[in-house]
Structure 1
């Protein structure tokens, strides 16, 4: 299992006059340190109008800066928002190829369909987002490998264009898809691209379900969207390492995890997103054609008595219902189900081994979270960095 870095470039209040500039510079400092310590990849998201939650509105620019200030670490675009009102496929292909040249071939390239608030912001119909992302996956690798490219669908009319530059990596960078449901993990597998998931709120058993359906789908893929299959699963979760478990808590780990949970559920409008995923899964279960691997899996699961919700699931349900839950209760519930990797090096190693044993190929350590002080984040990165060689 490779150990990576993942960031949203979070910028919680209270703000100083230069808060945005300072946070951007700190992120670059963290990227330089990650490169020195031997982390595998520096992953950066794309979000718009994120406020405190994320300053990462132009990841291709930030990743260019990271590439220019590092030597070995790969740069992960996780992930470009692919519906065309965010980013037209031609512009996606052009910018990613340029980044690949500027990084000397270090790009890991992902795409995502985004979520409800950003669809609304860019006037994207929710029922078209997955299809538009799929079509972008079908187009971008071909733009990179064909001298003349054409594509026509309800959304796109592209006729005999030559997209330049071509990527530095041949035939093209590894492809990834951001995933948050059984349907998306199956889609990534059928596309033959890597799966990027989040395990911050998911127990290991759920992570295993996602991995299993992805592996089944990728084994059966007949027409990968790229020139090769990228059979990898990566997950990000909150990681904070300190000399002792007590020091990790004193640094503000519980407050940071709870802050992120609250902010993420607000920014992503989690209740509506949950209902949308539930409706999608119901449609798969009732699909006369079977609903693919996801439909089969859901029907098989429904035949068995489901386990009662665990403490973390109950707490998350309370938050989505609008209830105020204390930081300590949120943190304890998530820690109880091994969703978080927080504590001493010994504690963190044990929790990291859980994800390795589940079959995770890349653990994306989410270390700059909430109000954790920059110097504590840097120390955590160093302590985790001492474990990297033992996981490779």
Structure 2
């Protein structure tokens, strides 16, 4: 299992006058350190109007800067928001190809549907997001490998145009899909692209189900969207490593994990998101055509009531608007092995859990909440020392 870095570029209040400049410079310093330490890939999100939660509103620019200050680490855009009002597919192809050249062929490109508040801000119909992302997946490899490109659908009419430049990597950079439901893991597998998931609120048993759906879907993939199959699963979770377990807590790990949990459920309007996901799964469950692997899995699971974990109960309370104390949120997440916090020995033991689940890349989410920049850098160094233990290659 390779160890990567995942970043949102967070800057919680209270703010100083230079807080925006500082988070950008800190991110660059962390990326340079990750390159020296041997992390596999630097994953940069795309979010808009995120305020405290995410300053990564122009990730292609941040990744370009990182490319010019690093030598070996791969650069992951996780992920381009694919609905057309965010990013026209031609612009996605052009920017990605430029970044691939500027980085010497180190780009990894993911696509995502985005979330309810961002759909609303950019005037995007929610029921079109999955189909538009699918179209972008099918268009990008053709734009990158064909001399001239055409596409006709209800929403796009592109007629025999040259898309330049072509990527530095041949035939094109690896493709990924951001996944947060059974249906999205199945879609990634059907497309033959890598799956980018999150373990922060999911117990290992649920992660294992997601991976199982993905592996079966990609095993059946006969027509990948790209020129090759990217059969990899990457998950991100909160990681903070210090000299001792106690020092990790004194650095503010519990407060950071709780702040991120509360902030993300507010920013993403998680209650509405979960309701939409539930409705989508019910439709697949009852689909006369079978609903694919997801529908089959849901029918097999019907009637079985998996035990609710303490963390899931806490998350349900948060979605109902309750203010749950930081310590309670952190303990619930730690109890179900959703977090990696503590000494190097503790972190390695917890990382082994993810390795045994079949995860190929663990995206270590280290710059979180109010954790000081110095503590983040120290954590990165300590986790970096564990890379040989997990990636024998």
* TM-score normalised per structure 1: 0.99
CA shift for structure 1 position 222: 1.3
Counterpart of 1:36 in 2: which secondary structure? helix
Query: In structure 2, what is the equivalent of residue 17 of structure 1?
Result: 17
Gaps of 5+ in 1: none
Q: Which residue of 1 aligns with 2:69?
A: 69
**Equivalent residue for 1:219?**
219
Off by >6 Å, runs of 4+ in structure 1: none
Please name the residue that 1:93 is paired with.
93
Secondary structure at 1:332's aligned position in 2? helix
1:365 aligns to 2:364 (yes or no): yes
State the match for 1:380 in structure 2.
Answer: 379
Q: Equivalent residue of 2:52, what SS?
A: helix
Please name the residue that 1:337 is paired with: 336
1:390 CA drift (Å): 1.4
Deviations 1:149-171 (A, max 9, x none): 11111111111011000000000
Q: Which residue of 1 aligns with 2:104?
A: 104
Partner SS, residue 53 of structure 1: coil
Q: For 1:301 and 1:154, locate their aligned partners in 2 and report how far apart those are by CA, in whole Å.
A: 37
Report the counterpart of residue 351 of structure 2 in structure 1.
352
1:241 is matched with which residue?
Answer: 241
**Aligned partner of residue 307 in structure 2, secondary structure:** coil
Shift of 1:265: 0.3
Partners of 1:12 and 1:200 in 2: how far apart?
Answer: 19
Describe how 1:121-140 pairs up with structure 2 within 5 A.
121-140=121-140
Cα distance in structure 2, aligned partners of 1:141 and 1:60: 19
| SS of the residue 1:52 aligns to | coil
Aligned match of 2:232: 232
Tell me how far apart the structure 1 counterparts of residues 306 and 64 of structure 2 sit (CA, whole Å). Answer: 46
User: Post-superposition shift, 1:307?
Assistant: 2.2
| Alignment partners' CA distance in 1, 2:242 and 2:219 | 40
Residue 190 (structure 1) aligns with: 190
Alignment match, 1:320: 319
Give the TM-score, by structure 2 length: 0.99
CA distance in 2, matches of 1:152, 1:330: 48
- State the match for 2:34 in structure 1: 34
How far off its partner does 1:14 sit?
0.8
The answer as to 2:278 corresponding to 1:278 is yes
Give the number of aligned pairs.
391
**Which residue of 1 is the match for residue 309 of structure 2?**
310
1:81 — aligned with what? 81
SS of the residue corresponding to residue 117 of structure 1 reads helix
- Deviations for 1:109-137, whole angstroms, at most 9, x for unmatched residues? 00001010000000000000000000000
Distance 1:309 1:61 in 2: 42
Provide the secondary structure at the position in 2 that maps to 1:39: coil
1:206-233 deviation per Cα after TM superposition (whole angstroms, max 9, x unaligned): 0000000000000001110000000000
